[in-house]
Chains A and B, each alone.
Chain A
Amino acid sequence: MNDPLREALHRNALMSGVLQEGYRPSQDEGLRARVRAAMNLAVRRRRLRRSLLGAGFAAAAIIAFAMPSRGPIPETPSGPIATAPPMLQIVTTAAAAPVFEIVPTPRHSAFEVVRTDQLIGPLDRARDEDLLASGGVVGIVGHPGGVRKLILVSPAPHRSSE
């Protein structure tokens, strides 16, 4: 036989035949099932890790948002006070288990008012002097002009747990 390619093919066929007489992983259904199960488990773990990581980032973003600015307090503008944004949300920290009560406010109120006898994490002192002077307001959380604000009033008239 002079054709090297044909000879290689024939030898390959013989080698395949010889190897088929012994163990062949491709025919081992038990091994196939174990490896498949390991793949599926690895995929589930990767997805879980990704979702936990995503939740971690989200939590970090919320905490970063709720943390007070460390920069100097800007001077109060002398002009008219900017109107509050239309949508307001209460920001709270579940881990702190704060005792608080949401105070009913007029339907078109720009603020959510919360009575509590404890602070929820470190807060900037309220920058709105009028609100502070009105009595009971100890702080406002949220970026100036932002959509999230929390007004804390102390003390709470009665205790309710979240």
Chain B
Amino acid sequence: MDVRAMTRGIREGREDAFEAFYSGYADRMYRYLIVSAKGDEELARDVLQDALLRVVRHLPPLDGPEDLWRYLSVIMRSALVDQLRRAGRNPGSLPACREPAVESEEGAGDRMFSLLDDALAALPSDDRRILEAHYFQGASQGEIAGRIELSLKGLAMRLSRLRRRMREFILEGLRRE
């Protein structure tokens, strides 16, 4: 569904438009907010809910994805500032609240990917090789499990543990910025 039909559909309360918006944008907005909130997940979740509620109440008809993202980023920044004020925190403490409202989605993504590379580099070499084999070299879990003499279930658990560790590393990196 294109943005034009989606934004008009939300104003009319159409379920298909809502699903298209929620499925397509909720995760992206959260990722953006994680960066804007400097890794504060609780704050990002509160702001996300506030921003989504504002969007479905006031979303105007828009014509393209750039217009929509620009609108969303303004709403998210405004919701972030309000949330910080409610919590008695100074909005100026976060760069996202001092910078112009419209920050590209790519900008937030770049920070995340930069931290992803750092997180990968910070892993022990055995762990890094497992992730690289799985995600970069396209090796199946069966191949990797055979190579390191682990059961499939054991490999799945190890991959999950490594991903969680990287996630924590990224969030910690955002908090430190």
Interface of A with B (CB < 8 Å)? 1, 7, 10-11, 13-15, 17-26, 28, 31-32, 34-36, 38-40, 42-44, 46
Contact = CB atoms under 8 A, between A and B. Distances in A.
Nearest to A42: B57
A19 B31 contact: yes
Interface string B126-140: 000001000110000
A23 B26 CA distance: 11
A38 B59 CA distance: 12
A35 B52 contact: yes
B175 interface: no
Interface of B: 10-13, 15, 18, 22-23, 26-27, 29-31, 41, 45, 48-49, 52-53, 56-58, 112-113, 116-117, 119-120, 131, 135-136, 159-160, 163-164, 166-167, 170
Contact of A40 (B13, B22, B29, B53): B13
A22 B49 contact: no
Q: In terms of DSSP, what is the predominant structure of the interface of chain A?
A: helix
Nearest to B41: A23
B156 to A, nearest CB: 12
B31 A26 contact: no
A40 to B, nearest CB: 5
B22 A32 contact: yes
Contacts of B56: 35-36, 38-39, 42
A22 B40 CA distance: 13
B22 A26 contact: yes
Nearest to A25: B26
A86 B112 CA distance: 78
A32 to B, nearest CB: 6
A65 to B, nearest CB: 33
A5 to B, nearest CB: 13
Contacts of B112: 15
A18 B131 CA distance: 11
Contact of B136 (A1, A25, A26): A1
Given A25-B29, A42-B56, 4 more contacts: A1-B136, A11-B135, A21-B160, A43-B11
Contacts of B135: 10-11, 13-14, 17
